[in-house]
């Protein structure tokens, strides 16, 4: 038995109307979803920083290892402070530059840096009151200096550098055991 032409025609029109009705209601649902305000996301207490800071650190340590302290110092702010884990410190870019020009020029003959690891993080919310927010670059590397007295040494360094708003290092902290260094410098060839 074949359906009547009017029944087929009515069914076809009904399907078109239902499809059109569904199509017309869909954009309204999407519009209402889009109209809802987007919740602001609160920044994490810490996050990875721009990789450019790793590049600054790597370039700096490479120029320092070559003995080019002057180029290395270009990445430091005028008001930079340099600290060692022993409690010694240098205050100001000039003091840092003078120390390392003397040390690198008169004490260290050559230097090899290897096995380096770098990580740049941005501290949005300090964990302690005295912590500095902003970008910190952390690095770990093996240093093999040969001193002017001919004695060689191999040791690990952990360093942290804080960058100011102009991407200049305003604080450097070096964690190192200076006792083996002092012993090596006391030796005579």
Confidence at residue 15, expressed as pLDDT on a 0 to 100 scale = 45
Which pTM does this prediction carry? 0.75
* pLDDT digits 0-9 by tens, 10-24: 544 444 444 444 455
- Rounded CA-CA distance 120/136 in Å is 6
- Rounded CA-CA distance 75/169 in Å is 6
Other beta carbons less than 10 A from residue 103's beta carbon: 11
Environment class of 143 (CB within 10 Å of its CB; exposed 0-12, middle 13-18, buried 19+): buried
Report whether pLDDT(53) > 70: yes
**pLDDT averaged over the chain?**
86
Confidence at residue 7, expressed as pLDDT on a 0 to 100 scale = 52
Confidence at residue 24, expressed as pLDDT on a 0 to 100 scale = 54
* pLDDT digits 0-9 by tens, 64-105: 999 999 999 999 999 999 999 999 999 999 999 999 999 999
Q: Report how far apart, in Å, the C-alpha atoms of 10 and of each of 36, 93, 162 are.
A: 40, 88, 76
Cβ contacts of 74 within 8 Å, gap of 6 or more: none
């Amino acid at each position: 038995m074949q359906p009547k032409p009017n029944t087929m025609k009515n069914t076809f029109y009904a399907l078109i109307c239902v499809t059109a009705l569904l199509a017309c209601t869909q954009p309204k649902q999407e519009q209402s979803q889009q109209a809802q305000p987007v919740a602001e996301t609160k920044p994490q207490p810490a996050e990875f920083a721009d990789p450019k800071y790793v590049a600054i650190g790597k370039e700096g340590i490479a120029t320092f290892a070559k003995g080019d302290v002057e180029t290395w110092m270009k990445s430091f702010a005028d008001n930079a402070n340099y600290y060692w884990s022993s409690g010694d410190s240098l205050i100001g870019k000039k003091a840092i530059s003078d120390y390392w020009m003397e040390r690198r020029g008169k004490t260290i003959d050559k230097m090899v840096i290897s096995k380096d690891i770098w990580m740049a993080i941005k501290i949005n919310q300090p964990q302690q009151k005295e912590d500095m927010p902003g970008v910190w670059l952390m690095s770990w590397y093996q240093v093999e200096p040969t001193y002017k007295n001919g004695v060689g040494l191999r040791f690990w360094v952990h360093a942290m550098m804080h960058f100011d708003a102009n991407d200049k290092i305003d604080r450097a902290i070096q964690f190192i055991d200076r006792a083996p260094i002092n012993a090596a410098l006391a030796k005579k060839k």
